[in-house]
Amino acid sequence: MTLSDPEWLAVLTSLSVAARALLFTLPVAIALGWILARKKFLGRSLLDALVHSPLVLPPVVVGYVLLLIFGVQGPVGRWLDTTFDVRLVFTTNGAALAAGIVALPIMIRTIRLSLEAIDPRLELAARCLGASAIDRFFSITLPLALPGISAAAVLGFAICLGEFGAVITFAANVPGETQTLALAIYGALQTPGGEMIAMKLALISMTIALFALLAAEWLGRRSRRWTRRS
């Protein structure tokens, strides 16, 4: 199966968008997963509902909200434009932001479950031995949760590869900039005689997604075995 230059460009753009999305969402997912798993505070349920809202909202709504906030006329978007000359709308970074927000709830949930599976007595013992909160996190919590974090990263990457609604709403469908595999498939289906192109791109997308899901499942099982042995 051979691909034309525009089709390869859509594949490379998808990988770039997914990698950038993962770069900024993974630290956020780890932080929020740890807060929801370890901390009890007023408004915790509200925070939990907010971070999981992209799961139940149509992706187009997520993209529209991002457009209101990070668009050129939005409060954050205008500030970024006037202060740093940075625009997210209709850019690869904007597509990564939209895809990352959609993938974030799944990543947070996976990491949170991994953290909750860790025996809290291990952290308590380290605390009694004088380890600080930062030491406990990096020497005990993070290593034990690493397989779950890896599974979340792989799963998030796969979701970002296939995201459509939020990306096209916030970043549009710009070839070579924001046209991911999903958008290229949509564009091919809107073109007379583009069915074969759409089929090729769909097969590539499904292959990548299948490998990512298998990797996430393997890492999840490894995480459970690791935490049981610990």
Q: What confidence score (pLDDT) does residue 81 get?
A: 92
Q: Which burial class, exposed, middle or buried, applies to 121 when counting CB atoms under 10 A from its CB (0-12, 13-18, 19+)?
A: exposed
Number of domains forming the structure of the chain: 1
Q: What confidence score (pLDDT) does residue 97 get?
A: 96
Domain that holds residue 43: 5-229
Q: What is the mean pLDDT of the chain?
A: 89
The CATH number for 191's domain is: 1.10.3720.10
Least Cα distance to 149 among 117, 174, 119 occurs for 117
Least Cα distance to 102 among 214, 182, 38 occurs for 182
- The terminus-to-terminus CA distance of the chain in angstroms comes to 46
Q: pLDDT tens for residues 96-115?
A: 999 999 999 999 999 999 89
Please say if the pLDDT value at position 221 is more than 80. Answer: no
